[in-house]
Chain A
Amino acid sequence: MTNTPEYRMAKTAKLMIDILPDKCDFCGCCVGVCPEDAIELKEAEIFIIDERCTNCSKCVWSCPIEVIKFNKEGVVKR
């Protein structure tokens, strides 16, 4: 048996929100607009807290450098 990654799948919406940490500048814009406190951000580490994210998209619209995207395939859980 190989380790199959666990995916975070959409509950209602078809598009999932995905942060690309390699491109991120860790500026905190997305955290400031997130109504659910669903983004964890450290000095150089960022991820979505799966159980809180409602896929509301506000972080996607607010990211200045297009690091947060919609992902149709489902997002690997952190």
Chain B
Amino acid sequence: MKRYYDVVVVGGGPAGSMAARYAAELGVSVLILEKDRDIGYPVRCGEAVSRKGVEEFIEPDEKWIASHITKFSMNAPDGTEVVLPLPEEGFVLERRVFDYELAKSAANAGAEILTRAYVNGLLFDGDAVSGVKFDYRGEQHEVEADVIIAADGVESRVGRWAGIKTHVDFRDMESCVQYTISGIDVDPNTIYFHFGSNAAPQGYLWVFSKGNTSANVGLGVSGLVGKKKSALQFLEEFMERHYPNAAILTSIAGGVPCSVTLERISAPGIILVGDAARQVNPLSGGGIASGMIGGSIGGRIAAESIKKGKPQHLLTYDKEWMDRLGKRHETFDRIKNGIYNFSDEKFNSIAYSFSKVPNDKRSLGNLFKTALIHNPGLLIDVARVFI
């Protein structure tokens, strides 16, 4: 470990690793500081992602693919199930292996990595961030850098220390809990979603196969719901109803910030990427692919600003992110707000109407159309997604 790096990345998840790799590939020196002892563990994630979302960054490899997804199953509160083919293939990942591979690719590009390195403060040069303070193996250290990339996940404290307001409105925070269970009968190629007030009000419940009669069963509910009943209670009740005899191999909690991106994701000497920047798709809650995109843009711009000797170039990151995905997320956020307030009756009647659609005409687009008939106000926002 040196006293100075061009770029220091706080957090070794997908966004942090991609930021580190894209910066290192442009020839600047990079250090990743990971709080936990392992990259990729514990896995606080449902682990589903589209093939398109990952293959831009890493060649799909069976060693981190638990199952291949081709079908989507929507389950209404009254038990009506609608199954439809997905327009493109998806994966349920083994995040533990996947995150490791991403970090390795950053290391191969030249980045250094320290685990159990807990960042607890920033260094400043005037108004600009100029380094980090961190605890490593029980000793306090400091390291200086031209650019700090905050990839510290849902907590997003590093950005706050730089004066950026990063906390999420509790109504937009999906409080999640997930069991990885075994001994159940699910189709390994289908991802199952359950909606409604029994399963997960203002959120959804997922069953994602991990292959071999094993699956991630989890759910997220808004903090507004959590006020009255916790995510854990909802999951325990679902397990009792659906899988009373399943063995629970892992239980894990987590938070997914389902909001639009922060108003500001850069400041002098620092940029925010991934969950820390609130770059999660607010409709699906998916953050792997969008976090890697945010990280790759951030890493490249950080390296460019250093090589050009133009610190102000860093501030172009906000616009580039907004043009690439941020504006799209604003539309998704409006759709989310429409859908999350659907009543059980509405979900039931959408599933019922759609179950009349012949198999060969079933698609996500058609499901959306059915949903629109039930809430025409969504039409304008949905149109924006496709235009």
| Chain A interface (Cβ < 8 Å from any Cβ of B) | 25, 27-35, 37, 41-43, 58, 61-66
Contact = CB atoms under 8 A, between A and B. Distances in A.
B170 to A, nearest CB: 4
Contacts of B184: none
B271 interface: no
Which of A27, A42, A66: most chain B Cβ within 10 A?
A27
A41 to B, nearest CB: 6
B118 A43 contact: yes
Interface centre among A30, A42, A61, by most B CB within 10 Å?
A61
A33 B157 contact: no
Interface in B4-48: 35-37, 44
Interface of B: 35-37, 44, 116, 118, 153-157, 160, 167-170, 173, 175-177, 223-224, 226-227, 230-233, 252-255, 257
B156 A65 contact: no
Contacts of B156: 31-32
Given A32-B155, A62-B170, A66-B230, 8 more contacts: A33-B170, A33-B223, A41-B155, A43-B118, A63-B175, A63-B226, A64-B231, A65-B177
Contacts of A42: 35, 118
B155 A33 contact: no
Nearest to A41: B155
Contacts of B153: 28
Identify the interface centre among A25, A32, A58, A65: most chain B CB within 10 Å of its CB. A32
Given A64-B226, A64-B230, A64-B232, A43 B155 contact: no
B36 A43 contact: yes
Contacts of A33: 167-170, 173, 223, 255
B230 A29 contact: no
B35 A29 contact: no
B232 A32 contact: no
B141 to A, nearest CB: 15
A27 B253 CA distance: 6
A4 to B, nearest CB: 30
B168 A32 contact: yes
A38 B142 CA distance: 23
A32 B255 contact: yes
Contact of B154 (A31, A43, A61): A31
B252 A27 contact: yes
A28 B155 contact: yes
Contact of A28 (B37, B170, B255): B255
B275 to A, nearest CB: 8
B226 A61 contact: yes
Contacts of B118: 42-43
A61 B228 CA distance: 8
Contacts of B35: 42-43
Contacts of A64: 175-177, 226, 230-232, 253-255
B74 to A, nearest CB: 24
Nearest to A24: B253
B296 to A, nearest CB: 23
A34 B170 CA distance: 8
Contact of B224 (A32, A41, A61): A61
A25 B154 CA distance: 14
Contacts of A63: 175, 226, 230
Contact of B223 (A27, A28, A61): A61
A28 B275 CA distance: 11
A35 B160 CA distance: 10
A73 B254 CA distance: 29
